[in-house]
Amino acid sequence: MAAVERYIVIVLFEGVDLLDVTGPPEVFSLVGREIQGETGYRVVLAAESLAPVTTSAGVRLLPDVTFAEAAGRSIDTLLVPGSVETDGDQRVRAVTDPAVVAWVRRLAERSRRVTSVCVGAHLLAAAGLLDGKRATTHWSTARQLAAEYPAVRVDADPIFIREGEVWTGAGISACLDLSLALVADDFGEAVALRVARQLVMYLKRPSGQSQFSVPLEPVSTTRRVEELRLYIAQHLDHPLSVAELAERACVSDRQLTRIFKTELGTTPSAYVESARVERARNQLESTDATLERIATDCGFGTTDTLVRAFRRRLDTTPTEYRIRFRTRG
């Protein structure tokens, strides 16, 4: 029996991020090797014309079809990458070309599922495809996405998010994780895991896996909060109650909570938990320490508390995380 054709269209435009375009086809191409048969995947690059497109890396790509040609047939998967620019203060902003947005909207009508890679989520949002949906994007443009498209429920933490047949992926190399998730959706988890091994990713990351670590969170403009962040990082095995932190900062409990909300967008307790989870992740990846020892060192107290924090923050367990991401034999 012939394989079902899965016609995948990747959107091209000037300044597009190169890895967003080239990463997913590498994943799809390995599926055939793993199942030793026809996958039905046919990947094409589509642009407004057949003229070469210059990516953000300066590499030129040749489109296979025009947008108009792609819109003339049924599409299994529409994959929308993104592009960014920086202003004079080196702040990163996602770029959306109205002409490309119009084509994305039209192509989406012909597609079984629609996906965005990295800041490609801004194009989907501009096309109205994320209204009322939870979505992710690269952490550096998440605030821009939320501000410009209030109808979108932006979650900057996960590697990827699926809302029905609309998928959004996080930053840069997360395009591989998103592509593996699409393969799992098409051929099952076992095939996706074999492809991940071929890519030397060992095991694919779960959608709940955070795309950034605590140290990458925005730096506070308040010296007092930065001193507290450093204190927290150095004393994770202490109780670190709100009362203790407020006393150290010489403010009331309520005022400390307001400061954290304003400066870091979270509560003191939530920040402490995220910092503890981050340290636990590092220990799970690089040491053979028991869960009991990690729970104690990171201030969780008990393994049950550690497990609950991992489920809440990463949608996985410490044991599952160690199996997926450990870096020593």
- Copy the structure tokens of residue 181: 């998730």
Count other C-beta atoms under 10 Å from residue 98's C-beta.
8
Same domain, 141 and 231: no
- Total structural domains within the chain: 2
Residue 1 lies in a domain: no
- Alpha-helical regions (H) of 250-290: 253-264, 268-286
Asked whether residue 315 falls in the same domain as residue 229, the answer is yes
Q: Which residues pair with 168 in a beta bridge?
A: 116, 161
Q: Where are the beta strands (DSSP E) in the chain?
A: 6-11, 41-47, 53-54, 60-61, 65-66, 75-80, 84-86, 92-94, 111-116, 134-135, 153-154, 160-163, 166-169
Indicate whether 22 and 115 sit together in one domain: yes
Q: Are residues 178 and 268 in the same domain?
A: no
Residues 188 and 269 in one domain: no
Concerning whether 118 is annotated as a catalytic residue, the answer is: yes
Catalytic residue among 118, 175, 250, 298: 118
pLDDT number for residue 329: 44
CATH of the domain at 314: 1.10.10.60
Considering the domain boundaries, does residue 28 fall inside one?
A: yes
Q: Which of 154, 172, 198 is the last residue of a domain?
A: 198
Spell out a b/e string for 242-277, using b for 16 or more CB atoms within 10 Å of the CB, else e. Answer: beebbebbeeeeeebbebbeebbeeebeebbbbbbb
Q: Tell me which residue range forms the domain holding 19.
A: 6-198
- Judge if 10 and 76 occupy the same domain: yes
Structure tokens belonging to residue 315: 């949608």
* Residues in contact with 63: Cβ distance below 8 Å, sequence separation at least 6, in sequence order: 12, 45, 46, 47, 49, 50, 51, 53
Residue 208 scores a pLDDT above 60 = no
For residue 100, give both structure tokens. 């490309």
Inside any domain, residue 205: no
Type of residue found at 68: A
Kind of pairing, strands 134-135 and 153-154? Answer: parallel
In a domain, 247, yes or no: yes
Q: Among 121, 131, 129, which Cα is nearest to 105's?
A: 129
Please indicate, yes or no, if residue 160 is contained in any of the structural domains. yes
Encode pLDDT of 129-165 as tens digits. Answer: 999 999 999 988 999 999 999 999 998 878 889 999 9
CB atoms within 10 A of CB 101: 19
Which whole number is the average pLDDT over 27-36?
Answer: 88
Residue 209 domain flag: no
* Residue 79's CATH number: 3.40.50.880
Instruction: Output the CA angle 209-289-158, nearest 5 degrees.
Output: 5
Looking up tokens 């792609």 gives: 70
pLDDT greater than 80 at residue 210? no
Range in 129-133, 138-142, 168-172, 301-305 the model is least confident about: 168-172
pLDDT at residue 89, rounded to an integer: 64
pTM attached to this predicted model:
0.68
Q: In the structure, what pLDDT confidence band is assigned to residue 34 with cuts at 50, 70 and 90? A: confident
Tell me, yes or no, whether 111 lies in a domain.
Answer: yes
Nearest to 127 by CA among 159, 155, 97, 154: 97
For 279-298, letters b (16+ CB in 10 Å) and e give bbbebbeeeeeebeebbbbb
Residue 239 shares a structural domain with residue 275: yes
- Residue that terminates a domain, selected from 143, 163, 198: 198
Cα gap 201→220, rounded to integer Å? 34
- Looking at the structure, tell me whether residues 110 and 250 fall in a common domain: no
Pairing type for strands 84-86 and 92-94 reads antiparallel
The sign of the torsion formed by the CA atoms of 100, 103, 108, 110 equals negative
DSSP assignment letter at 298: T
pLDDT tens track for 56-70: 999 999 999 999 999
d(Cα 206, Cα 202) in Å, to the nearest integer? 13
Instruction: Say whether both 34 and 87 belong to one domain.
Output: yes
